[in-house]
Amino acid sequence: MRIVITGGAGFIGKKLARALLARGTLMDRNGTVQELREITLFDVVAAEGLPHDPRLETVAGDITDAAAVKALIGPGTGGVFHLAAIVSANAEEDFDLGYRVNLDGTRHVLEACRALGEPIKLVFASSVAVYGGDMPDVLDDGTILTPQTSYGAQKAIGELLLNDYSRKGFVDGRALRLPTIVVRPGRPNRAASTFASSIIREPLAGEEAVCPVERDAAMYILSPRRVIQALIHAFELPAEELGMTRMLTLPGITASIGQMVDALERIAGPEVAARIRWQPDPRIQRIVAGWPPRFDARRARALGFEPDADVGEIIQAHIEDELGGRIG
């Protein structure tokens, strides 16, 4: 089977590629386990830092170019992970770019899949940013979507499209609303949530980090390990278990910033936790306060998706996966 990963140069795309290479197989839509013969990572730049593997291909291209996407997802493609997106703060600053990538790009992926003439599996990375504004204390699968950012609106639209294409039999889609991913490896990005990774990642690497929110700010989070597991699990779920509703919110854990810092101190010591500089930023505080902190993800749990046990497990996983077990 040939698999395409859009946004393949991002950290989730690369981690997913590594996990798929290690696994070697994926279940196709008939429930047959298929050997993975080719994994194509598509992004604006060629993905770097990946192992040399004859099954791996990197393609640099533009998701806003319909012809490029159609050439990418050509005959022989057995499944797509559509991760490419302009992140929240960037989509908010550059309205046109956000819509071109996050809406038009998603339509190009859907159309390229449809052109294949059989409903291949398509896993779409959505976001809890589809929620916002006046929300109940605990959200669930029946909570109305009220995006308060262009990014959230674009993800909600992507879900509607994926659902409609799936209903028509053009694709076998699965949209996962991702919690905030903590701890992201690498450098800060343009997402408003980027600090939630920085306050763990940077101190562990011996660097200072700025925390722009108070200790009691709460976030709904999930580790990179669990996200990769979820993406693969979503791919392999039989279509009949999803039925007509192809979108679901992943189970995460709700943690306050204080809990995150306390866990960091417990695991890495007070001198590491002391590398956090508390410097409240009203703009970031306002954005974070607008995110849903608690979600009862009953549907996803019943379908076999699993959250992390606690913040400590998330930090330990980061130390193992990114730091070779060592704290700087």
Shortest separation between residue 151's beta carbon and its own copies, angstroms: 10
Q: How far apart are the first and last CA of the chain?
A: 41
**Active-site residue, 151 included:** yes
Shortest separation between residue 132's beta carbon and its own copies, angstroms: 9
Nearer to its own copies, 142 or 270 (CB): 142
Helix (H) or strand (E) holding 34: strand 33-35
Shortest separation between residue 265's beta carbon and its own copies, angstroms: 39
CB 61 within 8 A of CB 42: yes
Binding-site string for its own copies from residue 134 to residue 153, where x marks contact by CB under 8 A and - marks none: --------xxxxxxx-x--x
Matching residue, tokens 């699968």: 141
Considering only 22, 31, 35, 244, the residue that binds its own copies (CB under 8 A) is 244
Task: Determine the residue type at 275.
Answer: R
Q: Is the peptide bond before 4 cis (omega within 30 degrees of 0)?
A: no
DSSP of 297-317: -HHHHHTT----S-HHHHHHH
Q: How many residues bind its own copies (CB under 8 A)?
A: 21
DSSP of 72-125: HS-TTEEEEEE-----HHHHHH-HHHHIIIIIIHHHHHHHHHHHTSS--EEEEE
Binding-site string for its own copies from residue 194 to residue 233, where x marks contact by CB under 8 A and - marks none: ----------------------------------------
Considering only 16, 84, 156, 268, the residue that binds its own copies (CB under 8 A) is 156
* Segments in the chain forming alpha helices (H): 11-23, 66-72, 88-93, 95-98, 105-115, 150-167, 194-204, 224-236, 239-242, 257-268, 270-273, 282-289, 298-302, 311-322
Nearer to its own copies, 110 or 257 (CB): 110
Considering only 245, 279, 289, 320, the residue that binds its own copies (CB under 8 A) is 245
Shortest separation between residue 222's beta carbon and its own copies, angstroms: 22
| Set 131, 151, 165, 220: catalytic member | 151
- Distance separating alpha carbons of residues 91 and 109, to the nearest angstrom: 19
Binding-site string for its own copies from residue 161 to residue 190, where x marks contact by CB under 8 A and - marks none: x-xx--xx----------------------
Nearer to its own copies, 27 or 160 (CB): 160
Neighbours of 129 (CB within 10 A): 29
Binding-site string for its own copies from residue 86 to residue 125, where x marks contact by CB under 8 A and - marks none: ---------x------------------------------
Shortest separation between residue 152's beta carbon and its own copies, angstroms: 9
Phi and psi, residue 125, nearest 5°: -80, 105
From residue 234, give the alpha-carbon distance in Å to each of 2, 5, 157, 227, 293: 17, 14, 20, 10, 23
Considering only 19, 46, 160, 228, the residue that binds its own copies (CB under 8 A) is 160
Catalytic machinery residues? 151
Q: What does the binding site for its own copies look like in residue numbers (CB under 8 A)?
A: 95, 133, 142-148, 150, 153, 156-157, 160-161, 163-164, 167-168, 244-245
